[in-house]
């Protein structure tokens, strides 16, 4: 069955490098993987007081994740951690207690920065949340995309052959691993 892969981008700006890399990844996904971009910019800040009558945007987000088999996170680094918008989305999806939409979902992480160091801080801060979210995460290959501006052409596409091959290989590896984590899992048959 075709895998439904949720793609969460940790940047809200229109010209986001992270979104461009996420699109480059999606276009290189195997045919047996359907990438679904799920937007997080319209989610009201998490507040437990609202759980009695959750904002419609929260409910729509939770429902969209529930339809997916795995999650690919493509994120920039803010102050050596993940942007607040992404943490907010994780918090919303994780609640109410016992009803987390993320529990058990396999995850992949790609961190992106126009600077050096490949946004390692964000990449690993995100992995720390997976411990409590109970999300198994692809360990290898790791994907730290540094100096990203140099990898994109004026249309925002990845033209560099080495990077292109790396992104394609990452998506293939992610799919193989997801299917290994949940071989023939019933959620994949929908
Ligand atoms: C940044 N930036 C940044 N870069 C980095 O490599 N490490 C960091 O810790 C930070 N911190 C940081 C904090 C805040 C509040 C902003 C706005 C930016 C720079 C960041 O990588 C750059 O703005 C990217 O272009 C953001 O990603 P998108 O929006 O292009 O996907």
Give the pLDDT confidence of 136-175 residue by residue, as tens digits.
Answer: 999 999 999 999 999 999 999 999 999 999 999 999 999 9
- Please indicate, yes or no, if residue 190 is contained in any of the structural domains: no
Q: For residue 16, how far is its CA from the centre of ligand 1 (angstroms)? A: 10
For this complex, say whether ipTM is above 0.85: yes
How many other C-beta atoms are found inside a 10 Å radius of the C-beta of residue 21? 26
3-state secondary structure of 126: helix
Arithmetic mean of pLDDT over the chain: 96
Distance 141 CA to ligand 1 centre (A): 23
What average pLDDT does this structure show over 57-82? 98
Flag whether the pTM goes above 0.90.
yes
pLDDT of residue 73: 99
Segments forming the whole domain that contains residue 129: 3-185
3-class state of residue 121 by DSSP: helix
Q: Mean pLDDT throughout 121-137?
A: 98
Burial class (CB in 10 A: 0-12, 13-18, 19+), 82: buried
Per-residue model confidence (pLDDT) at position 44: 98
pLDDT at 182: 79
Q: Please determine, for residue 186, whether its predicted confidence score (pLDDT) is greater than 80.
A: no
- Cα angle 133, 138, 141; round to 5: 150
Q: Is 100 in the pocket of ligand 1 (CB under 6 A)?
A: no
Q: pLDDT tens digits, residue range 176-185?
A: 999 999 776 5
Q: Which residues does 135 contact at the CB level (< 8 Å), separation at least 6?
A: 71, 102, 103, 104, 105, 106, 107
Is residue 121 assigned to a domain? yes
Among 37, 41, 76, residue to substitute to test ligand 1 (most atoms within 8 Å of Cβ): 76
List the one residue out of 80, 4, 14 whose CA is nearest residue 38: 4
Q: Which CATH number goes with the domain that contains 50?
A: 3.40.50.360
- Give the chain's domain count: 1
Read off the pLDDT of residues 9-30 as tens digits, 9 standing for 90 and up: 999 999 999 999 999 999 999 9
Residue 88 lies in a domain: yes
């Amino acid at each position: 069955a075709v895998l439904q892969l949720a793609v969460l981008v940790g940047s809200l700006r229109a010209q986001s490098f992270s979104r461009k890399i996420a699109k480059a990844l999606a276009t290189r996904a195997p045919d047996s993987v359907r990438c679904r971009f799920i937007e997080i910019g319209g989610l009201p800040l998490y507040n437990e007081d609202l759980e009695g009558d959750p904002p419609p945007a929260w409910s729509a987000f939770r429902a969209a994740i529930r339809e997916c088999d795995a999650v690919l996170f493509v994120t920039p680094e803010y102050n050596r951690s993940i942007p607040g918008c992404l943490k907010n989305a994780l918090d919303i999806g994780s609640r109410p207690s016992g009803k987390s939409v993320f529990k058990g979902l396999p995850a992949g992480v790609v961190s992106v920065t126009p600077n050096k160091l490949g946004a390692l801080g964000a990449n690993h801060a995100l992995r720390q949340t997976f411990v409590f979210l109970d999300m198994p995460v692809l360990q290898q290959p790791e994907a730290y995309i540094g100096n990203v501006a140099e990898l994109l052409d004026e249309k925002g596409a990845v033209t560099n052959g080495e990077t292109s091959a790396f992104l394609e290989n990452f998506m293939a590896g992610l799919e193989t691993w997801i299917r290994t984590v949940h071989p023939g899992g019933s959620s994949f048959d929908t």
